[in-house]
Amino acid sequence: MLKTEPIDLEAIRRDFPILKREVNGKRLVYLDNAATTQKPRQVIEALVDYYSRYNSNVHRSVHRLGEEATEAYEGAREKAARFVGASPKGLVFTRGTTESTNLVRFSWGEKFVKKGDTLVTTLMEHHSNIVPWQLLAKRKEANLRFVSLTPEGTLDIASLEEVLRDSPALVAVTHCSNVLGTINDVAKVCSMARKVGAATVVDGAQAVPHFPVDFAAIGCDFYAFSGHKMLGPTGIGALVSRKELLEEIDPFHGGGEMIKEVFLDHSTWNDVPYKFEAGTVNIADAIGLGAAVDYLTHVGMDKVREHEMALLRYTLESLTGVKGFKHYGPREPENKGGVLSFNLGDVHPHDLATILDEEGIAIRSGHHCAQPLMRWLDVSATSRASFHVYNGQDDVDALKAGLEKAGRIFRL
Query: How confident is the model over 214-231, as pLDDT tens digits?
Result: 999 999 999 999 999 999
pTM: predicted TM-score of the whole model, two decimal places: 0.97
pLDDT tens digits, residue range 190-206? Answer: 999 999 999 999 999 99
Residues 378, 252 share a domain: no
Residues 310, 234 share a domain: no
Assigned domain for 4 exists: no
* DSSP bridge partners of 144: 119
Residues 19, 56: one domain? no
Question: Do the Cβ atoms of 19 and 38 come closer than 8 Å?
Answer: yes
Are both 62 and 94 inside the same structural domain? Answer: yes
CATH value at residue 335: 3.90.1150.10
pLDDT of residue 1: 45
Intervals of the chain under pLDDT 50: 1-2
Among the three residues 241, 273, 297, which one is the final residue of a domain in this structure?
Answer: 297
Does residue 84 belong to any structural domain of this protein?
yes
Listed in order, strand segments (DSSP E) in 53-169 are 91-94, 118-122, 143-147
Residues 201, 273: Cα–Cα separation, whole Å: 18
- The 8-class DSSP code of residue 325 comes to E
- The pLDDT score that the predictor gives to residue 3 is 65
Q: How many domains does the chain have?
A: 2
Q: Please classify residue 199 by burial: count the beta carbons closer than 10 Å to its beta carbon, then call 0-12 exposed, 13-18 middle and 19+ buried.
A: buried
Looking at the structure, tell me whether residues 403 and 286 fall in a common domain. no
Both 202 and 118 in one domain: the answer is yes
* Residues 342 and 369 reside in one and the same domain: yes
Q: Which residue segment(s) compose the domain that 267 sits in? A: 44-297
Amino acid (one-letter) located at 7: I
Tell whether 38 is covered by a domain.
no
**What pLDDT does residue 91 have?**
98
Q: What is the pLDDT of residues 277-299, one digit of tens each?
A: 999 999 999 999 999 999 999 99
Return the active site residues: 369
